[in-house]
Every structure is written in C-alpha cells, then in structure tokens.
Amino acid sequence: MESEEEILKAIGNRLKAIRINKGYKSYESFALDHDLGRMQYWRLEKGEANLTMRSLLKVLAIHKMTLQEFFSEGF
C-alpha cells in the first residue's frame, strides 16, 4: 500500500502533466491565469500541500475534468 506522501506526489505529478499538456510551461503562469495562489499551487504539484477536495475540484474545473477522468487517466 502506498503512503499518503506517495499518493500526494502522484496527484501532484498528474496535475503537473495536465498543466504542461495544456500548454503551460510554468506553474506560475497557470496559477496567475486562473486566480490560484502561486505557492499553494506549486505545493500541490510538488505533493507537499495538504490537498483538500475543494482545491482539487477547483483545479479540475479549470481543466474541465471530472474526478473520474483525473483518477482514471494515467494515475
């Protein structure tokens, strides 16, 4: 079984891959364009933030993704 730390890192890696796939090379530009806190978003991508469901849903809404899509595609 994976640790919480490993799961948060995997979620962060998935968020980063989606961001890059959408054409954003920088987490900062993505965060600024979508009214997200830069440091908070950076911590999400690094797997270092205490990820809340609200935070995840907000980022997924920006990407027009459902939870099912997020967790089923390459997670």
Per-residue pLDDT tens for 29-69?
999 999 999 999 999 999 999 889 999 999 999 999 999 99
Residue-wise DSSP of 22-41: TT---HHHHHHHTT--HHHH
**Count of beta carbons in the 10 Å neighbourhood of residue 40:** 11
Spatial contact of 17 and 63, defined as CB atoms under 8 Å apart = no
Q: Is 53 in a helix, a strand, or coil?
A: helix
pLDDT band at 13 (very low <50, low <70, confident <90, very high): very high
Structure confidence at residue 1 (pLDDT): 74
- Here the tokens at position 2 are 């994976």
With bands split at pLDDT 50, 70 and 90, how would you rate the model's confidence at 74? low
Is the pTM value of this prediction over 0.75? yes
Q: What is the topology classification, in CATH, of domain 4-72? A: 434 Repressor (Amino-terminal Domain) (1.10.260)
Q: Looking at this protein, which amino acid is placed at residue 51?
A: L
The sign of the torsion formed by the CA atoms of 51, 53, 59, 60 equals: positive
